Amino acid sequence: MSEIRYCPKCQRNVDISPWDTTSVIILIILLILGIILGIIYLVYKLVKTKRCPVCGTLEMDLESPRYEKFDHSATTFCTNCGKEIPAGSKFCPECGFAKN
């Protein structure tokens, strides 16, 4: 089940759900290997603080999803550190990460 929220920092809708396919597979494997490991992983996923997967903004700062169209061509943000990347730049000036 996905939890879509709007992140005002990166200006996009993001999925903050802790349960993706990989997490479910890891949980099943850990439960098979040992019930204790599976329970520990399950508790970890349930209490882990939800954040924006792009910039790390906490769940309490995220808003309801927005579905109108945004113009992202004027302003882009680094997917690695979340800093603003100037138009026409191929790399983030903060961390050097390649722009998508």
The pLDDT tens digits of the residues spanning 16-70 come to: 887 778 888 888 888 888 888 888 888 888 888 788 888 888 888 888 887 766 5
Q: Hey, where are the domains in the chain?
A: 4-68, 69-100
pTM: 0.47
- CA distances 16 to 34, 40, 60, Å, are 28, 21, 12
Burial environment of residue 52 by CB neighbours within 10 A (0 to 12, 13 to 18, 19 or more): buried
Q: Over 60: is that where the pLDDT of 72 sits?
A: no
